[in-house]
Amino acid sequence: MRLPVLFFLLSTAGFAQSLDSIQQLQPVTIQAYAADRTLEEVAASVAYLSTQSLERFSNTSILPAINTVPGVRMEERSPGSYRFSIRGSLLRSPFGVRNVKVYWNGLPFTDGGGNTYLNLIDFNSIGSMEIIKGPGGSLYGAGTGGVLLLNSPSIRKNQFDVQALAGGYGLKRYTFSGQLHSEKFNGRILFAHQEADGYREQSRMTRDAIQADLTWLLSSKTSLSATFLYSDLFYETPGGLTLTQFNQNPAQARPAGATRGAIEQQAAINNKTPFGGISLNHQWTESWNTTLGIYASRSDFLNPTIRNEEIRDETNYGARLQTEFVFGKEKEGKLTFGGEYQGFDSPINIYGNSFGIRDTLQTSDVLTSSQLLAFAQVEYQLPENFALTLGASLASVRYTFTRSYPTNVDAERELDAAFSPRIALLNRITPGLTIFGSLSKGFSPPGLAELFPSRAVWDMEIQPEQGTNLEVGVRGHRFRKSLEFDLTVYRFKLDNTLVIRRQPDNAEYFVNAGETMQRGIEAAVTWHPIRNQKTILSDLRIFNSYAYNHYRFAGESDFAGNSLTGVPPVVNSSGIDLTLKRRFYVNLTSIYTDHIPLTDDNTVFAKESFLVGSRVGFRTPIKSHALDVFAGVDNLLDKTYSLGNDLNAIGGRYFNAAAPRNFYAGLKFSVSK
């Protein structure tokens, strides 16, 4: 399947990583790398997803929309249990989101320990997202796995929304949101409840989230923004299955064997987290602009597992300062510089777990970290439609570990300051065609979850990852923007690659597996041949995205030449959106995922999958009101597959089955003024 798809894409001259940008009435302004330009003017591999892209699916998760972006993969081991990777960074994430730096409304949402609770954020809290592929260290600090920029929905009018949805396997969801818009103030408050029984045993999930976004215009030059989130998340964890168990009954939870099973131990996660941030923006002059943001969060985390019960109280806080200065007679240059600080403190107590009841204390520890980042970037418009970007950052990380039970231990580790440069060059060949190239270096220190993994031993041996990324891309449009395309070819060399290992009791730890070489092609094309409100078929859009991942262990690694664990060689996604009389709409999406190696020695693979989903609906304005009634189906072909695989698992428990064919239906009612 690889060659025909690749031939098709290359014959159409590329693809559009901004899968829905052709639908925008106004050009989308990309914020990645402080660009403030359209996507075609950004010398980086960046994907943009707007509200329209996200709402092609069930409005319960960003996962299906994310998986239409080439080079990006999101997994769900059970409802609420997500993993997120950009260009193979999943290798370090047995669960959660690691080695991807996440920002929300310009402030770090990734905590100081290197982990991101992406599952705390409700679907309707996100208005748009930008995904930076490759190391983003020159502006965003430590990390080799890319950057995710999340933004709340824009507020342009007074409006009140009510949404409700129900679906298979006990899925229920309802949200209420209200927003106010005036010359001096914009505000939005959201409450969202979501629950599901889950397809598998021991996979029930509930989440209540409250979010507020507030912006005040203090003067003609100064604005103050505030974001607040409180999320109460609970989800059960069914555990991985062997291939035999997966084939016999994919809906079962991990059964009892040498140890108790997931049901007996009542394996689950409880996470209650408030997050708050404030950003002050001041325009000193027409050319000078500064933004200062501060934030803090606290997570009460309870995790009974098959092995034990973990209790964490995590305090996270920090600040980010960014200044931009536009210079030159024709404003042809821009200097961006600033700094970021993150602090993290987490007492961790591990207890025994006896049939879901907390047992005796096993260990009592306190982990802390502090990260400091200084960055600078200059952009300059050169003659002959060239644009040059030079950026670099300096990052330092310090960790401490204190154990008070059963013995006393004090340990400290400070990593050498890491320098992460980036150079990029872009040329606008014609008004509808640009080509760019970039060379960047990234630095990714082990996070606290890797220094102190579930085996509860502080690791002083593992070293930071360091990688160098070279990429070349072309993007543009043709035929009055009815065809948009984007193509990137890249080579990423990663040293000291961190990979997961497991003890016989399935407790994980991490080691440096040497060098990996990651070569790839990311491509998609969007064709929008019909956009006419006066015809019966008033809108038609077709897209295809493709990723080829030639990822290998290299160097002196024991697995040199093997495919990189957890990465499918090929992923292809296609979609059709059509609208009749501006009222009836149909969204159809398919995703093909190649076989996935599940062990470093490449002896076990998850089989390939081909998934199809669809959403149909009816939208209509009623004076100042709007109604959207919709229904849909996921996994239309009723395939049995694993959406979240446990890599290098002990006992062959690699597979976490996703739901078979399932349906949903919902509505959204809006009142605006």
pLDDT at 88 exceeding the cut of 60: yes
Strand order across the beta sheet in which 147-151 lies: 46-49, 128-132, 147-151, 101-104, 107-108
Residue pointed to by tokens 């990852």:
465
pLDDT, tens digit (0-9, with 9 covering 90-100), for 139-149: 998 778 899 99
Residue pointed to by tokens 């997994």:
75
450 band by pLDDT with thresholds 50, 70 and 90: confident
Which whole-number Å values give the CA distances from 490 to 362, 439, 487, 493, in the listed order? 47, 10, 10, 10
pLDDT, tens digit (0-9, with 9 covering 90-100), for 608-631: 999 999 999 999 987 788 999 999
**Under a CB-based contact definition with an 8 Å cutoff, are residues 45 and 15 in contact?**
no
**Under a CB-based contact definition with an 8 Å cutoff, are residues 47 and 30 in contact?**
no
pLDDT at 343 exceeding the cut of 90: yes
**Closest to 71 measured CA to CA, from 647, 578, 519:** 519
Number of H helices, E strands in the chain: 6, 35
CA distance 445 to 400: 14
Residue type, 382: L
More confident residue, 26 or 185: 185
pLDDT at 94: 62
DSSP-based three-state secondary structure for 64 = helix
pLDDT at 176 exceeding the cut of 70: yes
DSSP-based three-state secondary structure for 16 = coil
Looking at residue 454, which CATH number applies to its domain? 2.40.170.20
In a domain, 644, yes or no: yes
pLDDT at 454 exceeding the cut of 60: yes
CA distance 41 to 425: 11
CA distance 661 to 196: 15
**Under a CB-based contact definition with an 8 Å cutoff, are residues 19 and 49 in contact?**
yes
367 band by pLDDT with thresholds 50, 70 and 90: very high
Mean pLDDT of 401-419: 91
User: Domain range holding 559?
Assistant: 2-209+237-256+370-672
pLDDT, tens digit (0-9, with 9 covering 90-100), for 302-316: 999 998 999 999 999
503 band by pLDDT with thresholds 50, 70 and 90: confident
CA distance 102 to 111: 9
Burial 264-294 (b: 16+ CB within 10 A, else e): bbbbbbebbbbbbbbbebbeeeeeebebebb
Those residues whose C-beta lies under 8 Å from the C-beta of residue 234, and which sit 6 or more positions away, are 80, 204, 205, 206, 207, 268, 269, 270, 271
Half-sphere exposure of 589 (CA within 13 A, CB side): 25
CA distance 121 to 207: 10
Q: Which of 5-14, 60-69, 581-590 has the lowest mean pLDDT?
A: 5-14
pLDDT, tens digit (0-9, with 9 covering 90-100), for 585-613: 999 999 999 999 999 999 999 999 999 99
In terms of Cβ atoms closer than 10 Å to its own Cβ (0-12, 13-18, 19+), residue 248 is exposed
In a domain, 23, yes or no: yes
DSSP of 123-181: GGG-SEEEEE-S--HHHH-S-SS-EEEEEPPP--S-EEEEEEEEETTTEEEEEEEEEEE
Mean pLDDT of 128-144: 89
462 band by pLDDT with thresholds 50, 70 and 90: confident
CA distance 15 to 521: 11
pLDDT, tens digit (0-9, with 9 covering 90-100), for 257-290: 888 999 999 999 999 999 999 999 999 999 999 9
Those residues whose C-beta lies under 8 Å from the C-beta of residue 292, and which sit 6 or more positions away, are 279, 280, 319, 320, 321
Mean pLDDT of 421-433: 95
**Mean of per-residue pLDDT scores for the chain:** 90
Characterise 506 by phi-psi region: left (phi > 0), alpha (psi -120 to 50), beta (else): left
pLDDT at 3 exceeding the cut of 50: no
pLDDT at 147: 93
323 band by pLDDT with thresholds 50, 70 and 90: very high
Q: Number of folded domains in the chain?
A: 1
**Closest to 174 measured CA to CA, from 164, 183, 182, 189:** 164
Helix (H) or strand (E) holding 54, with range, is helix 51-54
* Other Cβ atoms closer than 10 A to 437: 16
pLDDT, tens digit (0-9, with 9 covering 90-100), for 9-38: 333 333 333 333 333 445 789 999 988 899
C-alpha 35, offset from chain centre? 20
More confident residue, 485 or 25: 485
Mean pLDDT of 477-495: 93
In a domain, 663, yes or no: yes
Q: Which of 160-164, 526-530, 644-648 has the lowest mean pLDDT?
A: 644-648
Most confidently modeled of 338-352, 441-455, 502-516? 338-352
pLDDT at 433: 95
pLDDT at 13: 34
Mean pLDDT of 647-665: 94
446 band by pLDDT with thresholds 50, 70 and 90: confident
Mean pLDDT of 555-570: 89
Share of the chain above pLDDT 70, in %: 95
CA distance 166 to 559: 46
